[in-house]
């Protein structure tokens, strides 16, 4: 908790303006406050003990006094904790606590997210504590450096997308036997991908190769039909696979795994279980406890393994 408070204060005060506020109000109380502010911070008597502390102020006078105090606090705080921040050691009286920070990636326009990692300690030797502290410095390097793609921490979460709409159109036409229309919709997605669609600025300089499919690719022996299934099934399989790949980080693959298993398991992307001994697969998202506890009309939670009616 102490770390959180100190970090919050530092970020708050470093973002405060230190420019003096202009005002035409010059009440006598301010001159007394100015004398108090002119004293070195370490030598000042408590403000509440000064003769002017109980003097009533008008609204304008109170605003001016508040501006003077905030400005002084900002300067004092910067002078005290700015040095601690530079040395990366927080101090409280005779106590000292080192801290460490790293910046990853390019911050967005509204600033970077702050993550605080705390290591265990207490009841052990200084060497063990120091080892745990140093371990935390690089504990998340690979994780943070790897967050550059479509589910990178600052990337918007896809909800409704161009590629999903086009792939829905492609699947509908493929199921209806309209190969030409299905290929048109599928290739529109590939053209979009070939122009950098779905990629963020971290990969804008890369070279892409998404050549359009032709009908022969799905005939027996074609590049998308090496197992000699029907051309219609091969086309549907490619559309479902593209939904799985392009929908990474979304709900698409979860929905497809449930809806395709009954009649189209031969074209669905395998639902691999992390634990080979598992016999149940998640069928739905759990109901929130807050909703169940506060909403008297909420239905009974059937559990995540109960199939939804449409996916029976």
pLDDT tens digits for range 254-288: 899 999 988 898 899 887 777 777 778 888 888 88
Verify that 84 and 197 share a domain, yes or no. Answer: no
CB 150 within 8 A of CB 200: yes
The pTM of the full predicted model, rounded to 2 decimals, is 0.55
Q: Which pair of tokens denotes residue 312? A: 């029976």
Shared domain check, 306 and 291: yes
Per-residue pLDDT, 166: 97
Q: How far apart are CA 260 and CA 311, in angstroms?
A: 9
Mean pLDDT of 26-42: 68
Q: Which domain holds residue 291?
A: 278-312
On average, the pLDDT of the chain sits at 81
| 299 and 224 assigned to the same domain | no
- What is the rounded CA–CA span in Å between residue 11 and residue 52? 32
Q: Are residues 183 and 266 in the same domain?
A: yes
Q: What is the mean pLDDT of residues 282-295?
A: 88
Give the total number of structural domains in the chain.
Answer: 3
Q: What is the largest CA-CA distance in the chain?
A: 97
In this prediction, residues 221-233 reach a mean pLDDT of 94
In a domain, 155, yes or no: no
Domain stop point among 87, 118, 145: 145
Same domain, 6 and 137: yes
Measured distance CA(122)–CA(184) in Å, rounded: 65
Last residue of a domain, one of 113, 145, 177: 145
Is residue 261 included in any domain, yes or no? yes
| Together in a domain, 107 and 48 | yes
Q: For the residues 100-107, what does the mean pLDDT come to?
A: 80
Confidence of residue 240 (pLDDT cuts 50, 70, 90): very high
The answer as to whether 296 is a domain residue is yes
- Residues 226 and 291 occupy one common structural domain: no
pLDDT of 175 reads: 96
Q: Is residue 153 part of a domain?
A: no
Give the pLDDT of residue 5.
34
Name the band, by pLDDT with cuts 50, 70 and 90, for residue 12: very low
Q: Quick one: 96 and 206 in the same domain?
A: no
In a domain, 209, yes or no: yes
pLDDT at 251 over 80: yes
Per-residue confidence at 14, pLDDT binned at 50, 70, 90? very low
Residue 212: pLDDT band with limits 50, 70, 90: very high
Distance in angstroms (rounded) separating the CA atoms of residues 127 and 107: 35
Q: How many CB atoms lie within 10 A of CB 167?
A: 23
Instruction: Tell whether 98 and 170 lie within a shared domain.
Output: no
**Which pLDDT does position 150 carry in this prediction?**
67
Q: Count the neighbouring beta carbons within 10 Å of the beta carbon of residue 8.
A: 11
Do residues 36 and 132 both lie within one domain? yes
User: Mean per-residue pLDDT for 179-191?
Assistant: 96
Of the candidate ranges 13-27, 87-101, 151-165, the one whose mean pLDDT is the lowest: 13-27
- My answer on whether 35 and 104 are in the same domain is yes
Residue with more model confidence, 38 or 67: 67
Asked if 8 and 129 sit in the same domain, the reply is: yes
Structure tokens belonging to residue 123: 């009841």
């Amino acid at each position: 908790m102490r770390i959180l408070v100190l970090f919050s204060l530092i970020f708050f005060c470093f973002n405060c303006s230190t420019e003096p506020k202009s005002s035409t109000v010059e009440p006598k109380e301010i001159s007394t406050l100015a004398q108090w502010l002119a004293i070195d911070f370490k030598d000042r008597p408590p403000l509440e003990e000064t003769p002017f502390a109980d003097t009533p102020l008008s609204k304008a006078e109170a605003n001016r006094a508040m501006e003077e105090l905030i400005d002084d606090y900002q300067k004092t705080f910067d002078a005290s904790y700015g040095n601690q921040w530079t040395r990366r050691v927080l101090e409280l009286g005779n106590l000292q606590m080192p801290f460490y920070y790293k910046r990853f990636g390019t911050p967005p326009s509204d600033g970077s997210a702050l993550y605080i990692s705390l290591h265990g300690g207490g009841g052990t030797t200084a060497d063990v504590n120091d080892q745990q502290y140093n371990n935390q410095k690089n504990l998340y390097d690979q994780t943070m450096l790897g967050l550059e793609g479509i589910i990178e921490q600052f990337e918007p979460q896809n909800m409704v997308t161009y590629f999903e709409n086009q792939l829905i159109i492609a699947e509908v036409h493929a199921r209806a036997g309209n190969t030409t229309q299905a290929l048109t919709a599928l290739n529109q997605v590939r053209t979009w991908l070939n122009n950098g669609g779905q990629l963020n600025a971290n990969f804008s300089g890369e070279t892409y190769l998404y050549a359009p499919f032709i009908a022969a690719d799905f005939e027996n022996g074609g590049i998308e039909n090496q197992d000699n299934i029907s051309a219609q099934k091969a086309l549907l399989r490619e559309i479902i696979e593209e939904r799985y790949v392009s929908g990474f980080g979304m709900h698409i693959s979860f929905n497809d795994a449930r809806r395709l298993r009954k009649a189209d398991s031969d074209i669905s992307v395998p639902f691999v279980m992390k634990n080979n001994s598992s016999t149940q697969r998640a069928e739905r998202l759990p109901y929130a406890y807050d909703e169940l506890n506060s909403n008297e009309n909420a239905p009974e939670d059937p559990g995540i393994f109960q199939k939804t009616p449409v996916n029976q």
